[in-house]
Amino acid sequence: MCGIVGYVGDRNAYPILIKGLHRLEYRGYDSAGFALVGKNGELNVYKCKGKVSALENFVEGKDVEGSCGIAHTRWATHGEPNSVNAHPHYSCTENIALIHNGIIENWALLKKALIREGYEFKSETDTEVLVNLIEYVRNTNKCSLLDAVRGALKQVIGAYAIAVVEKGREDEIIVARQSSPLVVGIGEGEYFLASDATPIVEYTDKVVYLQDGEIAVLTKNKPLRVVNFDNAECPIDVKKLEMNISELEKGGYKHFMLKEIHEQPKTIMDCLRGRLSPDSYDVILSGVRDNAYRFLSARRIIIVACGTSWHASLIGEHLIEDLCRIPVEVEYASEFRYRNPVLSPEDVVIAVSQSGETADTLAAMSLAKAAGCFVFGICNVIGSSVARASDAGCYIHVGPEISVASTKAFTGQVTVFAMIALTLANTLTRISRDRFEQLSKALLDLPALVQAELDTLDAPIKELAEKFKDSRDFIYIGRGYEFPVALEGALKLKEVSYIHADGYPAAEMKHGPIALIDKTMPVLAIAIPDALYEKTASNVQEVKARGGVVISVVSNDDEMVSKMSDYAIRVPVTDPCLMPVLVSIPLQLFAYYIADAKGLDVDQPRNLAKSVTVE
Ligand code: M6R
């Protein structure tokens, strides 16, 4: 939930750290800071409340020379977001500085013990406890910094990715990971480290993804050393980084969110590429094909996810049940992990996560694995924890998603679910070859339809957003495949515009929420041509009859619901089971343009972070 970055080598570390922090700011932006070991071995920490730009202003005119440094952008867990709680944290003597992403669960106990030893604390953080514990072990055992880090981590319970520097050691950084991601980049006699590869990509394509329980010693001009907590050498698996720098820039768009919305014709195509043949219409997902017997003999499929990934999973449930007739349940990972679910080795658990680092989803996966379930991961970030913890899986391949509000990952996840459902339905012969080919073709046509929507809808939705930007509340309604889209549309609006919005199955309105309807409560109704169109139309009538203002999302040739509505957003039509992709696009644009019209920080909404690596 925080971003960490570091550099040791011959270059000036400061620009690398600041650029890296900007790339990682999506992970948290409550405060930022860095520590530098200068040429003469002096260790200086600079930190302040607020975003990375505030940190840049804060250090203006200060000495930021040094070729060994670590930096941090924070999403507050322990202690309010202020400069004292900001990372890095010094040890008591100011000889050691540490940055940390994660949570030390037994911090209170350790803190008490350190206080008894005379240690004093300035901040409310668990991180300051860890840095002092390292110093305590170092001084008590008169050992190396590596051994001190090892010794301290053996006493720690929790999740962490840490980086440690020490006064007088301008050539070395020690890093370690346990349940929080950490990537080491290997350059010529130099090393980079970061929470993900985005701060590293322009310097080197050689990376090592540290494993849980590993500590790495990054020493300038020396080979990388990785050991475990017992000091046994670990094998080093150097991977080639496949990432394009242009994907990390805004490319002329005002915000990443808008860029990512507009990227969707390409990202859906990238997701389909090499998997769905435009000639034979066959679908090949190797992770599903190679484990077909697990899916086909499954008693049921359970999907675990959070947030937007959970909404995409609800659409996955519809697709798999609809096309394959396999029972599916969708669970919030955070609930599933704690409610003692009944699981058996005949269950298949699918974990869905853009980042692949969501703590609750990872915990749900562990629970499923312990019960002997086959665990299949759907994620975006290559080499992420979900990818590594899965028995098999499938990437959505939509490229780095920087905006905190997820857009292209959602459509990528739905696309992958459609391919999984098609593969299983075909293998089980639950659908005819004609229907299979019809849906495969519809999937292949999606990118062009999304492009057509973006071309025609961007400007009118911007205008519509201007009209509704001062609304206080919103209700989104949909049925069947469109109910999860209503939930997702409402979540998008909430998180970027801070307008309260709820999603409901349209027919549920009369069981309570309709009491809210008056002329100040706009209702966004999804009424596309499917088996439930007429029924949704009646639900829209019920809202209109009570003076509600209706914005409908309807098909290009709609006649009935558009006439009842105050405003109609027209979208192209495909098979109803793929309509969630086409309907979600205008809802993403609507949320974006409302937030932008309100002058909000669209890419980094308040209180949020992109990857939620804590409970
Ligand atoms: O990386 P994940 O897909 O596991 O993240 C899950 C949620 O935290 C995420 O979808 C969140 O709800 C987004 N901010 C939604 O836009």
CB-ligand 1 contact for 603 (6 Å cutoff): no
If DSSP codes are grouped into helix, strand and coil, which group holds residue 238?
A: coil
Q: Give the pair of three-digit tokens for residue 369.
A: 């694995």
User: Which residues sit opposite 206 in a β-bridge?
Assistant: 240
Contacts for 202 with CB less than 8 Å, ≥ 6 apart: 245
DSSP-derived secondary structure letter, 245 = G
Contact between residue 605 and residue 498 where contact means Cβ atoms under 8 Å apart: yes
Helix axes 408-427, 579-597, angle to 10 degrees: 170
pLDDT in tens, 262-281: 999 999 999 999 999 999 99
pLDDT in tens, 329-383: 999 999 999 999 999 999 999 999 999 999 999 999 999 999 999 999 999 998 8
pLDDT in tens, 4-30: 999 999 999 999 999 999 999 888 888
CB-ligand 1 contact for 309 (6 Å cutoff): yes
Torsion sign over Cα 270, 273, 279, 283: negative
Angle value at C-alpha 313, between 310 and 319, nearest 5 degrees: 160
pLDDT in tens, 69-115: 999 998 877 778 888 889 999 999 999 999 999 889 899 999 999 99
DSSP 556-586: TT--HHHHHSSEEEEE----GGGHHHHHHHH
User: Which residues sit opposite 98 in a β-bridge?
Assistant: 89, 164
Which has more confidence, 74 or 226?
Answer: 226
Query: Alpha carbon of 195 to those of 38, 185, 219, 246, 561: distances in Å?
Result: 24, 11, 19, 19, 48
The order of strands in the sheet holding 172-178 is 89-90, 96-104, 158-166, 172-178, 214-219, 225-228
Nearest by Cα to 223 from 189, 192, 175, 197: 189
Nearest by Cα to 159 from 110, 103, 210, 108: 103
**Per-residue confidence (pLDDT) for residue 593, from 0 to 100:** 98
If DSSP codes are grouped into helix, strand and coil, which group holds residue 146?
A: helix
**Per-residue confidence (pLDDT) for residue 446, from 0 to 100:** 98
Atom of ligand 1 at shortest range from CA of 608: 14
Contact between residue 208 and residue 193 where contact means Cβ atoms under 8 Å apart: no
Stated pTM of the model? 0.81
Q: State how far the Cα of 283 lies from the Cα of 275, in Å rounded to an integer.
A: 5
Cα of 223 to ligand 1 centre, how many Å? 37
Catalytic hit among 2, 48, 271, 379 = 2
Q: Does the pLDDT of residue 615 top 80, yes or no?
A: no
Instruction: Round the average pLDDT of the chain to a whole number and report it.
Output: 94
Cα of 308 to ligand 1 centre, how many Å? 5
Q: State how far the Cα of 1 lies from the Cα of 355, in Å rounded to an integer.
A: 11
Atom of ligand 1 at shortest range from CA of 307: 12
Confidence of residue 609 (pLDDT cuts 50, 70, 90): confident
2 is a catalytic site residue: yes
Confidence of residue 179 (pLDDT cuts 50, 70, 90): confident
Probe residue for ligand 1, chosen from 308, 314, 496 as the CB with the greatest number of ligand atoms within 8 Å = 308
Residue with tokens 């299949």: 376
Confidence of residue 610 (pLDDT cuts 50, 70, 90): confident
Q: Are strands 225-228 and 214-219 parallel, antiparallel or unpaired?
A: antiparallel
Count of residues for the chain?
615
Q: Give the pair of three-digit tokens for residue 601.
A: 């920080």
Q: Which domains does the chain have, with CATH numbers?
A: 3-243 (3.60.20.10), 247-431 (3.40.50.10490), 457-604 (3.40.50.10490)
Nearest by Cα to 6 from 217, 205, 154: 217
CB-ligand 1 contact for 403 (6 Å cutoff): no
Cα of 306 to ligand 1 centre, how many Å? 6
Q: State how far the Cα of 441 lies from the Cα of 205, in Å rounded to an integer.
A: 37
Q: State how far the Cα of 24 lies from the Cα of 585, in Å rounded to an integer.
A: 26
Angle value at C-alpha 179, between 92 and 291, nearest 5 degrees: 175
**Per-residue confidence (pLDDT) for residue 493, from 0 to 100:** 98
If DSSP codes are grouped into helix, strand and coil, which group holds residue 319?
A: helix
CB-ligand 1 contact for 612 (6 Å cutoff): yes
Q: What is the CA radius of gyration of the chain?
A: 25
Q: State how far the Cα of 167 lies from the Cα of 63, in Å rounded to an integer.
A: 16
CB-ligand 1 contact for 359 (6 Å cutoff): no
Cα of 307 to ligand 1 centre, how many Å? 5
pLDDT, average across residues 514-521 = 87
CB-ligand 1 contact for 354 (6 Å cutoff): yes
Note if the bond before 88 is cis, omega within 30 degrees.
yes
